[in-house]
Amino acid sequence: MGKNKFHEGAGPSQRQLRVGETIRRALSEVLARGDVHDPELNAMSITVGEVRTSPDLKIATAYVLPLGGKGQDDVLKLLSRNKGELRRMTAKKLTLKFAPDLRFRLDETFDQMDDTRRMLSEDRVRRDADAAGEGDG
């Protein structure tokens, strides 16, 4: 057996999930309080949907979305521009030996949920779903 007991397709470890959620909460708090010295960033309401960490916990990718979905291009630029300060502020709230390098991506799960809702509201799909449910009684 090799050095890494998990194969490529394995999901994140409990530790990765725990650290990711801790970083998500800390980052959300920093952004909500407007602690960063950037008025443009502080003017935005940003949701941090999820944070995924690399197996070695050195990289944390935050999946973010501005409130209402407007300004998606701007939000990534602003977060990247303030990455160092966000990393320092987030690290103060963590109990890790090293603060992970922060990366930011748009959280597209909200778009996917909207697409699913739209699809489920179509008459044809609703009829099919109702017809499928009739045999369950």
52 with 93, same domain?
yes
Percent of the chain with pLDDT over 70: 73
Distance of CA 80 to the CA centre of its chain: 15
What is the rounded end-to-end Cα distance, in angstroms, of the chain? Answer: 51
pLDDT at position 113 is: 53
In a domain, 38, yes or no: yes
Residue 32 inside a domain? The answer is yes
How many domains, in total, are found in the chain?
2
Mapped onto helix, strand or coil, the DSSP state of residue 125 is: helix
Q: Are residues 92 and 61 both part of a single domain?
A: yes
**For residue 59, what are the domain limits?**
14-106
Amino acid code (one letter) for 79:
L
Backbone phi and psi for residue 96, each to the nearest 5 degrees, phi listed first: -95, 150
- Quick check: is 42 in a domain? yes
Specify the higher pLDDT residue, 18 or 94. 18
Tens digit of each residue's pLDDT (9 = 90 or more) over 29-75 = 999 999 899 999 999 999 999 999 999 999 999 999 998 878 888 99
